[in-house]
Each structure stands twice: as C-alpha cells, then as structure tokens.
Amino acid sequence: MHCYFIVILYSTLGETYRVLSECNFTIFSQPAKGYSDESTVHEDVKEYYGKLLTKTADLKSNACMTVAKPVTSDIRKALEEVHPDVSDRYYGCGLAVPESLQGCRVLDLGCGSGQDCYMLSRLVGERGFVTGIDMTNEQLQVARKYIDYHAQRFGYRKPNTEFVQGYIEDLEDAGLKKGFYDIIISNCVVNLSPDKTSVLKQAHRVLKDGGELYFSDIYCNKDLPAEIRTHKVLWGECLAGALFWEDLMRLAGEVGFSTPRLVTATAVTVGNEELENLLGEYKFVSATYRLFKIPRGAPNTGCLVIYNGNITGFEDCLNFDAYHTFKVNAVVPVDGELASILRRSRFAEEFSFQPCLADQPSSSCVGPKTVTWNPFEVENLEASRPCCGVPKSCCK
C-alpha cells in the first residue's frame, strides 16, 4: 500500500471525476477543507486502496512510480518470480531494497499486496523472514493468498513471510516485537502518515541495535503552508503530506536514529496544471534514505575501512550513500558516525577496520569534507555517478 490518491477532486478533472462518481465516492467542486483527525486519513486511504484501485494502471499520477536506483540481476529475477496478481497492485516511489539481506528479518511498512515482501522473501533466503504490515484488508487478502505459492516457487520447505493488519504508527498494538527486526523498509508510505514521529519511534522500537530503516519517500524543499497541508487532493497525490527534508533530519535525531544518509534522489513532476498552480514554488523529490539504530554512547571514532566484496550483486564496489562508494580492497577513510554504523550493523562482516596511524593527520579519517544530505542538491544522483556493483545492462 503506497501513495494514496484521495477522491476529493475538482469536477474539471473530467474522466477522474466520472470514475470516482461511479465508485460512489464523495466529490467536491471546490477545494476541500482538509483532514480533521488521524482516523479520517486512515479511513479515506483504506476506502481508496481497498475499493477504487484494483491495479497499478489505475493510478492517476507518476509521483508514486519514480524509481531512481539501478536494479541488480538478483533483484530483477526476484521481481520476475512474484505472482502477477500481486505485482498488478503495486504502488511505490522508489526501490527500497538495501544490500546484504541474506538471513535477515525484514519488516515492510505499508506492504500493500506484498510485491516487495515476496521479492525480499527470495533475497533473504529460507533462513530469513519477512513481515508485511498494512491497514487495508483488501490488499492483505491479495498478499496472503499467495504465501504458499511463493514458498513453493522459491523451493522453501515452509513460508518465510507473514502479513499483519495494523497501523504503521502503532506497531506495538499490531503485535510486533521489540528489537526483533534487522531491517525495516518502506516504499512511499511514510509521507502519507498523519503522525510521522510515531512512525519513526515505532520503527526504532522494533529494530535490533545496529538495525536499519531503509525507505523511499516524497520530500519537499520547504515547509508547506496550511492551505496545502490541509488540501485533500494534494494529500492524496502524495504531496501535501511530504516532509520538508530538514524535518526528517530533526525527527530522526529526536527519536534516536543516526543521521539519515541519502542514497538516491530523483525529481518528481506533478503533471497536472491545476495542481501545479496550487503548489506554486514548492518542489518535490523522491528520495531514499538509510537510518541506523546505533546505541547512544557507542564509540564514535573515525577510522580506515576496507570493503571485502562479499555482498551479492556488489562484488566490485558498494554505493553506500551519496558520498561513500567502497571499491573492493580499497582503503577508505570514514568519519566517526559511519565507522560506528559499519562496526555495529550487519555490515560489520563485510569490512575490515584499521585505526588511523599516529603519523597521519587526523583529517585522514574524517571522510568527505563537504557533505549535504539535501536531496535537492544531489538530484538525479544515480545518473551522475558510475554504476557500482551493478551490471551495465541493469542500469536502466
């Protein structure tokens, strides 16, 4: 379940107006006043994704279909094995697939019909486990229908996937255990939550120490004003609920995550003149960030790291974030925070660590001197840097 297109639209939108009318949705001829509470958002979303959208082709915008990251051959093969009934109901704004997944426990926030979960089921292997959580019963019915199908397709003795109905703002209430998951992914869902702080807090709670939140979402270049934030059409189009990217930095720190590290960023076009006029100067990007749960007070000293090249699909080098590409056997200086992340996460076994030598200047272990995690300054990131660890034929 990804990007929501709420059904309060202008009558001038023609075909969309006709389709929504036939589906018995309430349509306003004037801009809506906005959501009054969290439950209203949830109910509108469940109605839209459970009743109106039946396949990917039903989407009315490209905001939720932007993919910036090249696809490795193992990811492509895993996607090809997903049942068509599941893939036909896929909605997402990026590719939320981190590296080094074998044997991991993974949680997908807003899993919808389960495409990403089944892809991950293949990538984590039979020893791994994948949980999908969604609030929309109709989407979960599709996902659950194919649990046994995919286990048999992958040659597993028993399924390694489960699907839970619940809200991403309250994973505890959904029965998800504290400190259970190695990785949490999400694909164009967090921006549509009415309580993003709770989403981050709950994600932090269910992650193990050293665990990672790796998610793609829509971000804005400025704080959005109330008239946009409360506009139901723009909310449904994944725009009104978009975080100002600096707010993600602040919220992550308040919750206890490491600095969000930008992986990819691609400009989002609205493609609707009427909505563009409402948005004015505000711009949006689809961006993927990775955040780690590193214990407070953990040693935070820069060092030299050497990538061993053992991650499937990234044997030659690993694009870790916008500023760090680790070539196999190359000595790379990293700052204290990144050193702590690599030492205390699942990546620890993928690197060798060396202290800075006494006769070296301290700057040799601080990594890149100029760093910005602003997605608008590194837009179209993947197009501007070499394809690392991905076959050229996959860089599409």
Domain boundaries, the chain: 43-293
Contact (CB, 8 A) for 154 and 125: no
Choice between 299 and 254, residue whose per-residue pLDDT is larger: 254
Q: For residue range 298-350, list pLDDT tens digits in order.
A: 788 999 999 999 999 999 999 999 999 999 999 999 999 999 999 999 999 99
Contact (CB, 8 A) for 310 and 101: no
- How do the residues of the chain divide into helix, strand and coil, expressed in percent and rounded to 5? 35, 20, 45
Model confidence, pTM: 0.82
CA nearest to 97, candidates 185, 188, 1: 185
What are the residues facing 94 on neighbouring strands?
A: none
Note the pLDDT of residue 61.
44
Q: For residue range 138-183, list pLDDT tens digits in order.
A: 899 999 999 999 999 999 999 999 999 999 999 999 999 999 999 9
CA nearest to 23, candidates 37, 36, 9: 9
The percent of residues in the chain predicted with pLDDT above 90, rounded, is: 58
> Any residues with CB less than 8 A from the CB of 141 and at least 6 apart, and which?
none
Q: How far is Cα 187 from Cα 174, in angstroms, rounded to an integer?
A: 19
Q: Distance of alpha carbon 171 from its chain centroid, rounded?
A: 17
- 356, 360, 366, 367 alpha-carbon torsion, rounded to 10°: -100
Note the pLDDT of residue 7.
33
End-to-end CA distance of the chain: 25
Note the pLDDT of residue 93.
67
**CATH class (in words) of the domain with range 43-293:** alpha beta
Choice between 17 and 226, residue whose per-residue pLDDT is larger: 226
Q: Distance of alpha carbon 99 from its chain centroid, rounded?
A: 14
Task: Annotate 243-295 with three-state secondary structure.
Answer: EEHHHHHHHHHHHCCCCCEEEEEEECCCCCHHHHHHHCCCCEEEEEEEEECCC
Burial 32-48 (b: 16+ CB within 10 A, else e): bebbeeeeebbebbbbb
> Any residues with CB less than 8 A from the CB of 280 and at least 6 apart, and which?
none
